Structure 1
Amino acid sequence: MAGLRREELAPLAGVSVGYYTRLEQGQSPNVSDEVLDAVARVLRLDDDEVAHLHRLARVARTREKVRPEQLRPGIRLMVDSFTEAPAIAVGRRGDILAWNRLAHALLAPHWAFDGAEKPNFVRVDFLEPEFSRGLYVDWEQKARDDIAYLEGTLSRFPGDEGLTALIEELLTLSPEFRAMWTEHPVSNCASISRDYRHPDVGVMTLTAELLRTPDDEGQGVTIFQAEAGSPSAERLRRLAELVTATTG
């Protein structure tokens, strides 16, 4: 219910105004799932937003520092094993930690494939707008999904100083990021269908599946796939042929 004041929302959720105020301020780390679900019902949150609310409520108040990200060799091997589909290993901050040739050709061909530094997809989308707005047919939705990705990571790793530095950088340099960040979009970002505009093969509709492991520390592997027999599948095949012809 948009526009509800605390004084109106708290009774509907069955809590006092004072308690709800402390909950908003993160001062009730032992809040029950029942209270969170009641608040979610009043706010009419969807499933992803409810899950995000529960994660925020469980954030450790100590905000312990997290270890630097290190790509596991098995994850790199998994990415390299895909030859007919773009695949990337992505870190909790949106850093591309590894990619295959097809993902490079699709997502950031203006970056060096074997370079020591690889792109951060959120930074590219907001700070390289000429490229990213050309790649994504619906750039605004992609941008909101980026922010939802960072929001979800921040709720899990509040002590990640690199993550907070990235967010502060984007808030400073990108008016679009600054405006969208205040909207707090929420999504699990696990399976998303999106239209990509490639200059060599045209528009492709691809589904990005994010695969995580129980001990991922925020890392995952994303595989981009087209529906079998579709025009997008044919265009993806043509892109793979171009990559092979170029790289040998």
Structure 2
Amino acid sequence: MTSTGLRRDELAAFLRSRRARLRPAEVGLPEGVRRRTPGLRRQEVAQLAGMSIDYYIRLEQGRGPHPSRQVLAALARALLLSRDEREYLFRVAGESPPPSTGPSREVGAGLRHLIDAMADTPAYLVDASYEVLAWNRLATYFIGDLADVPPDDRNMVRWMFRWAATDTHWTDPEMLRFTRTSVADLRAAYGRYPHDPRLRRLVTELLGTSPRFAEVWAEHDVEERRPVVKRVEHPELGPLEFECRVLHVPETDQRMIVYVPEPGSPTQRAFRRLAEHAPA
């Protein structure tokens, strides 16, 4: 370790390991001729990061200069580093990691598989600002088929405050609690990501268009979502009752929302019937 906190050997080993795991197609490069070793070539990483091949080779050999924050950010982009990996890269280079500018909207393959595997349970994934990122077939019966909805209009909180003043949601104590805790969780995200433009636009929009949102927002409650019991009069399935369980995904600050019926209940049977007849 140097006096600046740079751990050259660890940085070199980390760069080599991250380069070796990538395939050219993952970064938009042709596979080309057969490669003697797995992963990208050094010159390809240097090209993607916008630096000289000599400079990058010296970093991988543990004898380069102290990389600047701009160089580290370029390497993180070139190597497709996750949030945790980017933070680690900065720390072994003796730098403080850059703050997260906004909620993560990347959906990992594992989460997608998990949501799809819940064949008889409605489930969907939202980011910290409640933008819906992924959903399974049963969820479309409750939130609609979002494949036909513009990405900028897939926000749960926006949907809530579009309900008409006469909507029965506003007289249901459980739904009111659900709405208030959603706004409190949104405010917590607003504090974590003060520079995210999409989150700021959402809050500004709702403050200007929904007096009810402005009233709840002004209470300054800050908390993460808790499960609530939802009772829904579904147009196809009739009366349903289930726990709306919110599962936090720590590494991305996302939430998986799952509609969990009581075992053996009419709602569970309805979900199973729906799953059997839902189009593939």
TM-score, normalised by the number of residues in structure 2: 0.56
- Secondary structure of the 1:101 match is coil
Q: Return the alpha-carbon distance in structure 1 between the equivalents of residues 139 and 118 of structure 2.
A: 10
Q: CA RMSD in A?
A: 3.0
Q: Which runs of 5+ in 2 are unaligned?
A: 1-97
- Select which of 82, 98, 105 maps to 2:141: 105
Deviation at 1:125, TM superposition (A): 0.8
- Select which of 191, 213, 226 maps to 2:249: 213
Sequence identity percentage: 28
- Select which of 177, 188, 199 maps to 1:141: 177
| Larger RCO (CA within 8 A; separation ≥ 6) | 1
Aligned 8 A contact 2:158 2:206 in 1 = yes
Residues 1:192 and 2:216 aligned together: no
Q: Return the alpha-carbon distance in structure 2 between the equivalents of residues 236 and 125 of structure 1.
A: 23
Matches within 5 A, 1:165-204: 165-204=201-240
Deviation at 1:80, TM superposition (A): 1.2
Aligned length: 181
Deviation at 1:137, TM superposition (A): 4.5
Deviation at 1:177, TM superposition (A): 0.6
- Secondary structure of the 1:212 match is strand
Deviation at 1:201, TM superposition (A): 1.4
Q: Return the alpha-carbon distance in structure 2 between the equivalents of residues 232 and 135 of structure 1.
A: 23
Partner of 2:257: 222
- Secondary structure of the 1:215 match is coil
- Select which of 119, 134, 154 maps to 2:190: 154
Partner of 1:84: 120
Deviations 1:104-129 (A, max 9, x none): 112x23x5445553621111111244
Q: Which has the larger radius of gyration?
A: 2
Q: Return the alpha-carbon distance in structure 2 between the equivalents of residues 85 and 227 of structure 1.
A: 12
More deviation, 155-164/185-194: 185-194
Deviation at 1:163, TM superposition (A): 1.1
Partner of 1:42: none
Deviation at 1:78, TM superposition (A): 1.7
Partner of 1:127: 162
Matches within 5 A, 1:59-74: 65-66=101-102, 69-74=105-110
Aligned 8 A contact 1:90 1:219 in 2 = yes
Aligned 8 A contact 1:63 1:159 in 2 = no
- Secondary structure of the 1:235 match is helix
